[in-house]
A and B are shown apart, each in its own frame.
Chain A
Amino acid sequence: MTATTEKSSRTRARDAEPWVSTANPCHQCRPLGAMVAFQGVEGCIPFLHGSQGCATYMRRYLISHFREPVDIASSSVSEKEAVWGGGPALRQGLRNVAEKYRASVVGLATTCLTETTGEDLGMHLGDWRKEILEKPLSVPDPEVVKVPCPSYDGTHMEGFHGAVRSLVDHFAEPTSAHGRVAVFPGMVSPADLRATRSLLKEFGLEADLVPDYSERLDGPALAESKPLPDGGTPASVMRELPGSRLALEFGRCAPESLSGANLLQERFKVVRRRLGLPIGIRETDALYAVLEEFSGRETPREHSLDRGRLIDGMVDAHKILSGRKAVVFGDEDMVVGLVSFLTEIGIKTTLVVSGARNGNLRSEIDRVTRTFLETPPRILDDADLRDLEESPEGLDADLFIGHSKGYALSRKRNIPLVRVGFPVHDRFGAQRLLHLGWGGALALLDTIVNTLLERRQSDSPVGYGYL
């Protein structure tokens, strides 16, 4: 058992008795993250072994964020399967997705139901392989990648990282060095994925992103519906991951046991660099240092110019930003990156709220704020948005920065919300939100400054035309 069962933050959120219940959650359940990760594999159909509702709810949740079709298959476990075992339903489901979706990979996750009934996926998949020997499929056999997702242990982030690690574990095989870079970008936006790939390209490095849903979850209009959308990292590429010259990993919060880069390092001795999400100056500088080191090239001039433009923009905007107070909430790696950047531009983060339960958030926030802030932000992990609502820091903040589940409180308090990360259900373009690199920092800077200016204009009796 790795999850802490104590609501550690609750006592800090208010002076009264700590809450037992959770209200207005800041995170989602574990299988959801796995479903996102599996979207980033070519020819893969994400598949939930559980009740029909889970797949439908997660599809709806993801569709509202990405505004793209998101197919998730389900074994539709009913009372019969819950009692007698879900093996036959699972095998029928695998046959259906293989033959109808022409899926070459099935990303199979359990759910709270099938974890609790004690479904043995290893055994089921053994039976499945026997079955397709006896009664072959009309299509090539798909690879089935399995990941345990007990929803009562961890959050969607554990589900995401666990699925990534399972992909590496399943596909990676000893292979000769090929010089490409294995990139584990974390749960970032399709725009972030595209930006990361082209950044490496500018250093002459070819990136194998695991996962890469930049096309599947942000694709063009189509003439015909396809069983599975184009895009995603091919299985053949994941087989060759051990030949990478570098395993580059964004995000430091996930436990090592759920890191795909860790697996490449431990099992295949691939050189590994673990960075925070490259958001803001220091975290992005760290990425450029790694890219310079491994490419042997200097940073291209255009990129240095962008870095300079960012700092120029920060100077222009510093009076608007200086001393402002922000509350930041969301997924652990995303909030670390955001707090780092906010700290750099002179905004004081007073409160950090995350549903994260893995315990690394605190040291990471400390790492990015240590030499900058006299008073470090209060950090509530394993927390929900009721904790945010009940924290005094949430009362006088100038800005909320986080996912759109903070909108209700933002509206109630009349504090502007800058929407970032996941999920964004009440704005367009969530799939194209850029957070990473100089482009991401510039976009964030402009958004934050303009949000504050807009507030200044709407609060002003004068209506200044120059700001």
Chain B
Amino acid sequence: MGAEAIEVFAERKGQILVAGADEMATIACDKQSLSGAVSQRACVFCGARVVLYPITDALHLVHGPIGCAAYTWDIRGSLSSGPELHRLSFSTDLREKDVIFGGEPKLELSLRELIKKYQPRGAFVYSTCVVGVIGDDLEAVCKRVAKDAGIPVIPVMSEGFKGTKRAGYSAACTALSRLVGTAETTGISPLSINLLGDFNLAGEIWIIRKYYEAMGLQVVANITGDGRIDDIRKAHGAALNIVQCSGATMEIAKHMKETYGTPFLRASYFGIEDMAESLYAVARHFQDIDWQVMERARKLVAEELVGLVPELREIRKKLTGKTVAIYVGGAFKAFSLIKAFRHIGMKVVLVGSQTGTEEDYREIQQVCDPGTVIVDDTNPLELGGFLRENDVDILVGGVKERPLAHKLGIGFVDHNHERKLALEGFVGMRNFALEVLSTVDTPIWRFVPRRAGKTKSAEALPAPAAQEVLP
């Protein structure tokens, strides 16, 4: 096992290492994707779009040719408890004429007609590649329209080619920082929080919000899952920011700390330990104001675990010894996944991320078993090779990795933005274990070509040969 056996683009060698073998090596990451490689990454626009998309009462207008809006129309299952304006796809659908003479007039007309029709609480205007080249002044258009419409209209500087997806997260945070601090904060409890970096896939933020509310905390703003413009505007009134997704929203947390003095904690809602520890960390933060917060947190965790632990024990029996490869967008998610797989008895043989930082990869090396392959920004060719070499039982990844796994007859668990099953919280750990089980525990793997002839005798008994039926 190891990177040597796989055909690797020469230029990418620094982006792959083996835990244990390369003693605390430094991985090369946060690089532009290699030309000609089929990167699993997207672009700046994608990064910005996924962070802001779950704000449900905002108008999201993509300024560019139709593709960028078409491919991002309702792709995430970011659920809303109210308005669903975010699920529509709006584009200025630029034509040749606009590219030659400038897209500003079309943008302004589009913004005005859409705001008039849909009455959003705010609007985001996403810049795309072409707009970055023709140099439309989004700032000026947004300012004019905002003044007339009386709502915040915010340009998102997300020209696709100006960096990686991470730069898009940054563009989104810049846009959010222009919203925060623009509304009154009276009446907000000293025991209050904002939830950052949860996008309410499959209703996950509702699970987490319920936990915090049971601890006696007031949630001021969801940033951004099931988010509302007006909540985000007063988010600076909260006493604490809790940041889940490491890459996407850390910048806005840092901005709020510098500007408003709001402290932040990092959290992960995935897996038992990380979920519980996240609640305890928040409780510790508030213990000087209200010691009961911790008591409520302990009670909540205990109640949640009563049924879960024995159930996981049963599932573990069936999964022990199975192997898994993890390839996800953000590295922070990978940490939690490694721990969660230990819980259900599975061995992680590969960990990769699209957007991890040097620090992230150092941490991954620490939590991994020796021999685990660690990769940054891989591609299907490379990933296919690793999967084959390691004979993994399942791959955890996003929608683009699914067909690769399935084509090779490997189980797949969606841990990306298209998932329809809540994986956060204690209930999420149960869902996760059951999903893994449903994938591992099916007879279909006996028939896939890579296992043909290799399956243990009892499993693969062929049907008896047809015999001549004698009278």
The complex places the Cα of A47 from the Cα of B408 at a distance, in Å, of 24
Give the residue name and chain of the B residue nearest to A69 (CB): B403
Interface contact B71-A60, CB-CB below 8 Å: yes
Which stretch from B88-96, B231-239, B264-272 is at the chain A interface?
B88-96
Q: List 16 A-B contacts (CB under 8 A).
A: A5-B95, A5-B96, A21-B92, A24-B88, A28-B71, A29-B67, A51-B160, A53-B46, A59-B400, A71-B38, A81-B161, A92-B35, A112-B67, A225-B384, A225-B407, A225-B408
Which stretch from B139-147, B218-226, B297-305, B444-452 is at the chain A interface?
B444-452
Given the interface pairs A24-B89, A224-B450, the reply to whether A19 lies near B65 with Cβ below 8 Å is no
Classify chain B's interface size. Answer: 35 or more
Interface contact B403-A54, CB-CB below 8 Å: no
Interface contact B381-A101, CB-CB below 8 Å: yes
Interface contact A3-B388, CB-CB below 8 Å: no
The complex places the Cα of A311 from the Cα of B38 at a distance, in Å, of 48
The smallest beta-carbon distance between B136 and chain A, in angstroms, is: 12
Q: Which residues of B17-43 are within 8 A (CB) of A?
A: 32-43
List chain B residues, Cβ under 8 A from A52.
33, 39, 41-43, 160, 164
Given the interface pairs A3-B96, A50-B129, A54-B160, the reply to whether A76 lies near B32 with Cβ below 8 Å is yes
B93 contact from A21, A64, A224, Cβ within 8 A? A21
Which stretch from A147-155, A240-248, A328-336 is at the chain B interface?
A147-155
List chain B residues, Cβ under 8 A from A152.
65, 94-96, 98-99, 130
The 7 closest A-B pairs by CB, nearest first: A53-B43, A96-B36, A29-B67, A225-B384, A93-B36, A93-B35, A21-B110
List chain A residues, Cβ under 8 A from B74.
408
Which A residues have a C-beta under 8 Å from some C-beta of B?
A: 1, 3, 5, 17, 19-25, 27-29, 31-32, 47, 50-61, 63-64, 67-79, 81-82, 89-90, 92-97, 100-101, 111-113, 116-117, 150-153, 155, 219, 221-225, 227, 355, 405, 408
The complex places the Cα of A73 from the Cα of B381 at a distance, in Å, of 11
Interface contact B407-A69, CB-CB below 8 Å: yes
List chain A residues, Cβ under 8 A from B133.
82, 113, 116-117
Interface contact A96-B160, CB-CB below 8 Å: no
The complex places the Cα of A406 from the Cα of B385 at a distance, in Å, of 39
Interface contact A79-B163, CB-CB below 8 Å: yes
A227 contact from B94, B99, B381, B404, Cβ within 8 A? B381
The complex places the Cα of A408 from the Cα of B71 at a distance, in Å, of 16
The smallest beta-carbon distance between B39 and chain A, in angstroms, is: 6
Provide the B106-122 mask, 1 if CB < 8 A to any CB of A, else 0: 10011001100000000
List chain A residues, Cβ under 8 A from B113.
17, 19-21
Interface contact B130-A116, CB-CB below 8 Å: yes
The smallest beta-carbon distance between A224 and chain B, in angstroms, is: 6
List chain A residues, Cβ under 8 A from B162.
78-79
B317 interfacial by beta-carbon distance below 8 Å: no
List chain B residues, Cβ under 8 A from A19.
113
Interface contact B160-A53, CB-CB below 8 Å: yes
Give the residue name and chain of the B residue nearest to A79 (CB): B162
List chain B residues, Cβ under 8 A from A96.
9, 34-37
List chain B residues, Cβ under 8 A from A68.
403, 407
The complex places the Cα of A23 from the Cα of B381 at a distance, in Å, of 36
The smallest beta-carbon distance between B42 and chain A, in angstroms, is: 4
The smallest beta-carbon distance between A158 and chain B, in angstroms, is: 12
Interface contact B408-A222, CB-CB below 8 Å: yes
The smallest beta-carbon distance between B454 and chain A, in angstroms, is: 10
The complex places the Cα of A22 from the Cα of B132 at a distance, in Å, of 20
B281 interfacial by beta-carbon distance below 8 Å: no
Interface contact B161-A95, CB-CB below 8 Å: no
B91 contact from A21, A73, A75, Cβ within 8 A? A21
List chain A residues, Cβ under 8 A from B381.
100-101, 225, 227
The complex places the Cα of A89 from the Cα of B32 at a distance, in Å, of 11
Interface contact A55-B38, CB-CB below 8 Å: yes
List chain B residues, Cβ under 8 A from A75.
35-36
Interface contact B407-A221, CB-CB below 8 Å: yes
List chain A residues, Cβ under 8 A from B129.
50-51, 82, 111-113, 116
B402 interfacial by beta-carbon distance below 8 Å: yes
Give the residue name and chain of the B residue nearest to A7 (CB): B93
Given the interface pairs A54-B160, A57-B71, the reply to whether A76 lies near B408 with Cβ below 8 Å is no
Given the interface pairs A63-B402, A72-B38, A153-B95, the reply to whether A100 lies near B130 with Cβ below 8 Å is no
Given the interface pairs A69-B380, A74-B35, the reply to whether A25 lies near B66 with Cβ below 8 Å is yes
Interface contact A67-B449, CB-CB below 8 Å: no
The complex places the Cα of A127 from the Cα of B152 at a distance, in Å, of 49
List chain B residues, Cβ under 8 A from A70.
403
B149 interfacial by beta-carbon distance below 8 Å: no
The complex places the Cα of A57 from the Cα of B66 at a distance, in Å, of 12
B90 contact from A1, A23, A222, Cβ within 8 A? A23
The smallest beta-carbon distance between B212 and chain A, in angstroms, is: 32
Interface contact A221-B449, CB-CB below 8 Å: yes
B73 interfacial by beta-carbon distance below 8 Å: yes
Interface contact A221-B65, CB-CB below 8 Å: no
